[in-house]
Amino acid sequence: MKTMKKNFKRLMVCLFLTVLMALISGCQDKPPVKLGFSGCLTGKLSDIGTGGRDGAILAVEQINRAGGIRGRRLQLIIRDDKHDPATAIQVDKELIQEGVAAIIGHMTSAMSMSVIPLINKEKVVMISPTTSTNRLAGIDDYFFSVCPPSKTESIHLARHMSGKMGLRTFACAYDLSNQAYTEEFCKYLKAEFENTGGQVILSRAFTSGRPFSYLDLARELFASKPEGLVLAASALDAAMICQQLAKLGSDIPVICAGWANTPDIIHHGGTAVEGVLFSGTFNNENSTFLSFKKQFMGRFGKTPNFGARYGYDAIQFFLHGLSRTNQMSHLKEVLKNSSIDTIQGKLEIDAYGDAKRRCFLVTVRNGQFEVME
Amino acid sequence: MKIHTSLKSILSFNFIVVATLPILIVGSLSLHILTQSMEAEISQRNLILAQVLASEVERFLEEPMRLLRQIRDVVDGQFIRQGQLSDSLQTVLGNYKFFDTIMMLDQQGIVTHLAPYDEDMIGNNMSYQPFFKDTRDSGQACLSPTFISMQTGQPTLTLSIPLRQGIIAGYLNLGVLGTLIKKVRIGGHGYAGITDRDGVLIAHPDTSLVSQRMNVRNVYVIRQAMAGREGTFPYSFRGVKKLGSAAILPHARWIVVVAQPIEYAFASVRKIRNIIWAGTLMALGLAITIAVISLRKTLNPLLRLAKDTQRVAGGDYHFPTYQKNYKEVDELAENFRAMTEAVKTREEALRESWKRLADRNRELKDARNYVKNIIDSMPSFLVSVDSEGRIIKWNMQAEKLSEKPWAAAKGQLVTEIFPHLAIQMADLRASLQKRLPVKQEKQPARISGETRYHNVVIYPLTGNGVTGAVVRLDDVTERVRIEEMMVQTEKMISVGGLAAGTAHEINNPLAVILQGSQNTLRRLSPEFDANVRAARECRTDISSIRAYLEKRGIFRYLRGIEDAGTRAAEIVSQMISFTRPGDSRMHLEDINDLLDQSLALAASDYDLKKKYGFEGIEIVRYYDSELDRMLCSATDIKQVLLNLLRNAAQAMPRDGETGDPSRRITLKTGKEGHQIRIEVQDNGPGMPENIRKRIFEPFYTTKRVGLGTGLGLSVSFFIVTNNHKGTISAESEPGKGTRFIVRLPIENAEGEKFDADFFPSEDEC
């Protein structure tokens, strides 16, 4: 009887150990670090939004393949703000409720502006890939951007226009659907241009998405006979305006805001966008970028646009923060005043969470972007 | 490790294994085969569905392409004029709803015709559009990558075919694919999805994924399909394990996937698996039950036998009779009974011899205890040691003296436990060597701060080849003290008598000298008329005589004679007091009070204060507050105590003006039998034995000449011994201070207690 009891005990011990081991091995999986992404994934501006998302997805997948952060996987939770301020606030609230460590987003300045009060109230770090409005620059808050404020771009372009190009006047058209970005872009460009003795002879606003005639707009711009034309618009809108100008026989040089700096402007603009000038922050011939481009092509079957590049950078920047602290409440502090090497060269973040990068002049030549300097 | 286990467990285990193993093997085998074939069937079913869907989508793409070819034929055949082309395109667009836009481009990529008409679009340069390049370069019909149309917000595709002069392209709305796959529902949870050749979703039940251009290329099933493998694959999407069957569209290289959560896909397989498991468990349960019942019947007699033998082992030799059972068991039982009988007989004999042995042991133990009792009861200290001086045994007296338990002393060197025996070690060795006893008498030893005297006898053990010795110590301290005191008293009495006799003899001539000198002075005094008269009769006057005597220093000599005489008289009177019994009255006194009064006297003594800094000495009092008042002469006793205090103070020289804080006098009183014991102890330099023995002798002093008469301690001695019938002794060692002990009897010489009422107190006199 006794030995039988002993056998039974042995059996129970074995069972217990098995269950215990199963439990332990189950416990070894640490909970993932949740990370939110919100941007415009549908609608007219979705090319930047989906690009940013795909860049972020690529970065997260690479990090997880390499074993995550301190053994914890990253989980990217994606939301579509539909380029609508109310939706943007709504989806960010959802992300915060999910317990995300930070939010990567939004992709346009207008959306970022609308959620600033929410993230500052909830004390959640937001790293925007592409927000570049000057209105958010120089403020110590929970908002970071890996894209420099647009005034850097504006001043860079204005100096080139009045300097090498020798322009004395220009006309400009800007899109009110992303007013926070476009107005600021034009304002600083104008200020710098006028500082050097130039003159703005026409400034024309339009609202993308509402029915209007590109041709009429182009006619008006052309008629003002400027020496240069500045477009603060999305790639598709800029391409369409250029198409109309070409039809009108214009040979006025066109300068575009960085927003339009995506392959779409070439696809839709055709030869009409040849010679269009941008101020870009990356050199597409550098080896780090080429390797990123190859990985992106392999994953998504297309070339990365600037949304994708900045989306990828934003995740790298977040990772940089996590490597310096494991407490999310300290994230804001460790991200400030830091610098990392990104696929687009060196990125420096100042005490206000604003980015600083080297600027290049980019133009379209033979249906390709080309760095001028 | 060899497993030691019961027959029952082994038999049960074997039985269960034999019964259940076939069931388990057959069960799991059939489960395995069934699961595989069913899973294959389900996978195949889903794959066929995906393939059917794929061919449906293929057909959907065929139709608009055919339409574009027709238009090409019309345009290239120049069956229509250029001016009417736009209108014709508009008509086609109205009739066939697949296209959102149809446009014609020339060889440079300029939009020449467009339906519906759009002023902003006509004339635009489309030469950098991928579809234009692909079609122009390949010269074949092309499908562009999909994109979201800015106009419709739907996934869209550009279909383009080359013309003789340019190309024709149509924007094909893929929204209809969404409605197509929405109809696919497998078991409530299965669904279908379509991706383009880049892995971007173009149709999915969740339309937001489509409008957000979700790329699912990293999903395992899509990866497999993109690598050209059609089939069914398990994969995980957003944390859910799914089964996906992928089919590939040959021309567009799109992928159609039919997906179903594995949980639901294989629900029927799980059901059957559960049934098989339940069946196996039931069979197992049945096998165990049968095993237990049949084994119990077989093993019960054996278990009973085991229990009975266990009882025999426990000492109960009654072995019960067994009913006829299995033959083997009966034989076993019979053998056990015989064995039990044999064991019983043998054990009785053994018990008898044990008893005898126990009796003898007890006697031996009694004898040993008796001997031990004798040794322990001896008032002597007895320690037996081995040849190296390690303690082997001791008696009670030795234990008492060592103040250590036996366990701590056993095996220790005798000198470690009794350090004062160190000087006897040589004797011990000599005794062992010569095998003769060694005896030493009155050996002094300091034990707990007191000098004790012992007679030490060391005798070697001789019997049974044991080497070692016994050390015997007898405490003779009291005897030595009494002897010493008797000698002292004897000596003092003779010396005292001599001194007193001498004093008496000196007293008479001294009286003549003193009287003579006093009379001489008186008769030279001018105050007496007889002197004046006598001087006048001698024809001189008294003042002249005095002037002469003064001038010659006669008065000085006379006063010198008087002073010396007085001092000699004092000494003589003290010497006389040695033999004179005390005449002062005895009263009941409190010794502690007397000590305090003596201290006060000493403190006010000019000499002690000035020369010996008495107030700088620390006084420690250990008074016994329970002491009875005793009959004595307060003046005498105070004199004795003052002498002792003075002696103590003088013994401790003062260093410098500040005084030495370590100077200390300890006063102790206490009852000791019928005596009161007073101790006065200093921490001065002490004195050697030869001085100590003589200190009570008259005129014996160690002080410089002129500092003392050497009578203080002698007077004290006689006061204590003669007047109070007590004793006074001194103990000292150089460097360890001196202690005077005064013992005063509480009762008088006749043995009666002094009655307080009989002697009226001083107040009443």
- The rounded distance, in Å, linking the Cα atoms of B635 and B622 is 22
H/E segment holding residue A192: helix A179-195
Q: How many CB pairs under 8 A join A and B?
A: 95
Find all residues with CB under 8 Å of B372, minimum gap 6, and list them: none
Q: In what order do the strands lie in the sheet with B231-237?
A: B201-203, B191-195, B255-261, B240-248, B231-237
DSSP letters of B697-708?
A: STT---SPTTS-
- The rounded distance, in Å, linking the Cα atoms of B697 and B679 is 20
Q: Do A7 and B199 touch (CB under 8 A)?
A: no
Q: Contact A357/A107 with Cβ under 8 angstroms?
A: no
Q: Which of A29, A44, A53, A86 is nearest to A311 (CA)?
A: A53
Q: Which mean pLDDT values do the consecutive 10-residue runs of chain B (765 residues) have?
A: 68 78 82 86 90 90 90 86 84 86 91 89 91 90 84 85 91 87 82 90 88 87 90 86 90 90 83 84 82 77 82 80 73 84 88 93 93 87 85 85 83 82 81 83 77 85 78 85 79 78 85 90 87 88 88 90 87 75 74 89 80 83 87 86 87 60 86 89 85 82 68 84 85 84 74 43 38
Find all residues with CB under 8 Å of B141, minimum gap 6, and list them: B65, B68, B69, B135, B159, B160, B161, B162
- The rounded distance, in Å, linking the Cα atoms of A288 and B591 is 111
Residue B666 three-state SS: strand
What's phi and psi for A170, nearest 5 deg?
Answer: -150, 160
Q: Which three-class secondary structure string do you get for B48-89?
A: HHHHHHHHHHHHHHHHHHHHHHHHHHHHHCCCCCHHHHHHHH
Q: List residues in chain B touching A: CB distance below 8 A.
A: 4-6, 8-9, 12-13, 109, 119-120, 123-130, 145, 148, 150, 153, 197-200, 208, 211-213, 215, 217-218
Q: Do B124 and A243 touch (CB under 8 A)?
A: yes
Beta strands in B174-326 (DSSP E): 191-195, 201-203, 231-237, 240-248, 255-261
- The rounded distance, in Å, linking the Cα atoms of B637 and B595 is 9
Q: Which residues from B are below 8 Å from A57, CB to CB?
A: 215
Facing residue for B148 by CB, picked from A2, A46, A213: A46
What number of other Cβ atoms are within 10 A of residue B487's Cβ?
Answer: 11
Q: Contact B696/B721 with Cβ under 8 angstroms?
A: no
Beta bridge partners of B195: B201, B255
What pLDDT, on a 0 to 100 scale, did the predictor assign at position B669?
A: 92
**Cis-peptide into B32, omega within 30 deg:** no
| Chosen from B4, B11, B125, B147 to mutate, greatest number of chain A CBs within 10 A | B125
Facing residue for B123 by CB, picked from A54, A247, A273: A247
What pLDDT, on a 0 to 100 scale, did the predictor assign at position A373?
A: 66
Facing residue for B128 by CB, picked from A43, A266, A300: A266
Percent of chain A with pLDDT over 90: 49
What pLDDT, on a 0 to 100 scale, did the predictor assign at position A312?
A: 94
- The rounded distance, in Å, linking the Cα atoms of B180 and B194 is 10
Q: Which residues from A are below 8 Å from B199, CB to CB?
A: 300-301
Q: Assign residue B675 a region: left if phi > 0, alpha if psi is -120 to 50, beta otherwise? A: beta
- The rounded distance, in Å, linking the Cα atoms of B590 and B592 is 6
Both tokens assigned to B333: 């039982």
Q: Contact A282/A255 with Cβ under 8 angstroms?
A: no
What number of other Cβ atoms are within 10 A of residue B490's Cβ?
Answer: 10
Give me chain A's average pLDDT, please: 87
Q: Contact A227/A169 with Cβ under 8 angstroms?
A: yes
Beta bridge partners of B665: B619, B682
Q: Which of A107, A83, A79 is nearest to A93 (CA)?
A: A79
DSSP letter (8 states) at residue B390: B
**Cis-peptide into B437, omega within 30 deg:** no
Q: Which residues from A are below 8 Å from B208, CB to CB?
A: 42, 80
> Chain A: nearest CA to B218, how far in angstroms?
7
Q: Do B208 and A80 touch (CB under 8 A)?
A: yes
Residue B240 three-state SS: strand
Q: Which residues from A are below 8 Å from B12, CB to CB?
A: 4
What pLDDT, on a 0 to 100 scale, did the predictor assign at position A276?
A: 94
- The rounded distance, in Å, linking the Cα atoms of A262 and A311 is 14
Q: In what order do the strands lie in the sheet with A355-356?
A: A338-342, A345-349, A355-356
- The rounded distance, in Å, linking the Cα atoms of B636 and B346 is 91
Facing residue for B125 by CB, picked from A3, A80, A270: A270
Q: Contact A280/A202 with Cβ under 8 angstroms?
A: no
Facing residue for A270 by CB, picked from B127, B145, B218: B127
Residue B237 one-letter amino acid: F
Q: Contact A223/A248 with Cβ under 8 angstroms?
A: no
- The rounded distance, in Å, linking the Cα atoms of B712 and B702 is 13
DSSP letter (8 states) at residue B458: E
What pLDDT, on a 0 to 100 scale, did the predictor assign at position B713?
A: 85
| Interval A4-20 mean pLDDT | 59
B645-666 in b/e form (b: 16+ CB < 10 A) is bbbbbbbbebeeeebbeebbbb
| Chosen from B4, B5, B10, B120 to mutate, greatest number of chain A CBs within 10 A | B120
Q: Contact A324/A69 with Cβ under 8 angstroms?
A: no
Asked whether the predicted pLDDT for residue A229 surpasses 50, the reply is yes
DSSP letters of A80-124?
A: E-TT-HHHHHHHHHHHHHHT-SEEEE-SSHHHHHHHHHHHHHHT-
Q: Is the dihedral of CA B518, B524, B527, B533 positive or negative?
A: positive
Lowest mean pLDDT among A5-19, A80-94, B86-100: A5-19
Q: Assign residue A166 a region: left if phi > 0, alpha if psi is -120 to 50, beta otherwise? A: left
- The rounded distance, in Å, linking the Cα atoms of B412 and B391 is 6
Facing residue for B211 by CB, picked from A42, A214, A299: A42
Asked whether the predicted pLDDT for residue A28 surpasses 60, the reply is no
DSSP letter (8 states) at residue B762: G
- The rounded distance, in Å, linking the Cα atoms of B615 and B645 is 12
DSSP letter (8 states) at residue B144: P
Both tokens assigned to B127: 């030469």
Q: Contact B531/B524 with Cβ under 8 angstroms?
A: yes
The residue of chain A nearest to residue B10, with distances taken between CA atoms, is A4
Asked whether the predicted pLDDT for residue A37 surpasses 90, the reply is yes
Residue B194 three-state SS: strand
Q: Do A80 and B212 touch (CB under 8 A)?
A: yes
| Span between the terminal Cα atoms of chain B, in Å | 108
What number of other Cβ atoms are within 10 A of residue B538's Cβ?
Answer: 9
Q: Contact B574/B715 with Cβ under 8 angstroms?
A: yes
Residue B375 has, within 13 A of its CA and on its CB side, a CA count of 18
What pLDDT, on a 0 to 100 scale, did the predictor assign at position A128?
A: 94
What pLDDT, on a 0 to 100 scale, did the predictor assign at position A322?
A: 87
- The rounded distance, in Å, linking the Cα atoms of B411 and B393 is 9
The alpha-carbon radius of gyration of chain A (Å, integer) is: 25
Structure ipTM: 0.81
Find all residues with CB under 8 Å of A256, minimum gap 6, and list them: A230, A231, A232, A233, A238, A265, A276, A277, A278
Find all residues with CB under 8 Å of B427, minimum gap 6, and list them: B438, B440, B456, B458
The residue of chain A nearest to residue B6, with distances taken between CA atoms, is A3
Q: Do B199 and A300 touch (CB under 8 A)?
A: yes
Q: Do A301 and B217 touch (CB under 8 A)?
A: yes
pLDDT digits (tens, 9 = 90+) for A174-192: 999 888 889 889 999 999 9
Q: Do A4 and B127 touch (CB under 8 A)?
A: no
Facing residue for A299 by CB, picked from B5, B120, B218: B218
Both tokens assigned to B665: 């006098």
Residue B158 three-state SS: strand
> Chain A: nearest CA to B30, how far in angstroms?
26
- The rounded distance, in Å, linking the Cα atoms of B413 and B388 is 8
Beta bridge partners of B166: B163
